[in-house]
């Protein structure tokens, strides 16, 4: 009986050993795709490097363009602005401006201006365009028709007075009222304004 037990047990053990060896080989080495594995990994790295390079290049180009545009604006400040010719704007007819009185008009910027004539002529030298803004602190100046000479225009804020030409004659103002250049074309009155 011992022979039967030994002979029968050897055969199945060998077969089991062969099957377990084949299974170990399959699990130990996973299948690899054809070609080398290094080339796939380095290709992905190259794509990442190109993406980074493109990003850095685009960023540098953007910064360069911003710098050039800012430099272009800055260069404009190095050259002085040329003096522009004042813009003549039709205001009214010359005969609408009273002699020794005032006509109140508005500039294109909304500033109030007094027009007055010293003589009954169309001569631009006899027509004055005077700002109603006090040269002291910017309060409104009022025309006083009953005041002759030195107190023709009055600023009530600090009791400033101006003559019929807009020159200061009393109170704190030290500078004259701003004047606008007058131009007469036929019987039309134009005032000249500086462009902003």
- pLDDT tens digits for range 107-123: 888 888 889 888 888 88
| DSSP type of residue 173 | -
- The pLDDT assigned to 78 comes to 67
82-91, 102-111, 170-179: least confidently modelled range: 82-91
pTM (global) more than 0.75? no
Number of domains in the chain: 1
Q: Compute the distance between CA of residue 43 and CA of residue 151 in angstroms, rounded to an integer.
A: 92
- Give 37's pLDDT tier (boundaries 50, 70, 90): very low
- The pLDDT assigned to 19 comes to 53
Task: Supply 133's token pair.
Answer: 């803004």
- Give 89's pLDDT tier (boundaries 50, 70, 90): confident
Percent of the chain with pLDDT over 70: 62
> For the chain, first and last CA: distance in Å?
125
pLDDT at 38 over 60: no
Q: Evaluate whether 103 touches 115 at the Cβ level (below 8 Å).
A: yes
Q: Compute the distance between CA of residue 93 and CA of residue 115 in angstroms, rounded to an integer.
A: 11
Which domain does 135 fall in, by range? 88-193
H-only helix segments in the chain = 2-28, 37-76
The CATH number linked to 189 is 2.102.10.10
Bridge partner list, 159: none
Q: Compute the distance between CA of residue 10 and CA of residue 139 in angstroms, rounded to an integer.
A: 123
Residue 8 lies in a domain: no
Residue 150 lies in a domain: yes
Task: Supply 107's token pair.
Answer: 């500039």
Most confident by average pLDDT, 14-18, 77-81, 154-158: 154-158
Residue 2 lies in a domain: no
The pLDDT mean for the chain works out to 74
What is the number of helices (H) and of strands (E) in the chain?
Answer: 2, 10
- The pLDDT assigned to 111 comes to 86
Residue 82 lies in a domain: no
Residue 151 lies in a domain: yes
Maximum Cα–Cα distance across the chain: 157
What is the mean predicted confidence (pLDDT) over 72-98? 76
Q: Compute the distance between CA of residue 98 and CA of residue 27 in angstroms, rounded to an integer.
A: 113
Residue 170 lies in a domain: yes
Residue 4 lies in a domain: no
Residue 7 lies in a domain: no
- The pLDDT assigned to 36 comes to 46
């Amino acid at each position: 009986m011992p022979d039967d037990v030994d002979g029968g047990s050897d055969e199945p053990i060998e077969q089991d050993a062969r099957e377990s060896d084949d299974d170990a080989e399959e699990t130990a080495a996973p299948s690899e795709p054809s070609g080398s594995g290094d080339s796939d990994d380095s290709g992905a790295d190259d794509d990442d490097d190109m993406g980074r390079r493109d990003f850095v290049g685009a960023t540098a180009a953007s910064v360069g363009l911003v710098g050039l545009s800012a430099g272009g604006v800055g260069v404009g400040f190095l050259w002085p602005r040329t003096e522009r010719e004042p813009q003549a704007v039709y205001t009214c007819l010359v005969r609408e401006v009273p002699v020794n009185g005032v006509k109140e008009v508005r500039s294109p910027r909304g500033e109030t201006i007094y027009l007055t004539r010293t003589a009954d002529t169309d001569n631009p030298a006899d027509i004055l365009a005077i700002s109603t803004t006090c040269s002291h602190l910017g309060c409104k100046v009022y025309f006083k028709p009953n005041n002759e000479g030195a107190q023709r225009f009055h600023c009530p804020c600090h009791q400033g007075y101006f003559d019929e030409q807009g020159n200061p004659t009393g109170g704190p103002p030290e500078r004259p009222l701003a004047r606008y250049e007058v131009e007469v074309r036929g019987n039309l009155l134009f005032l000249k304004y500086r462009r902003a």
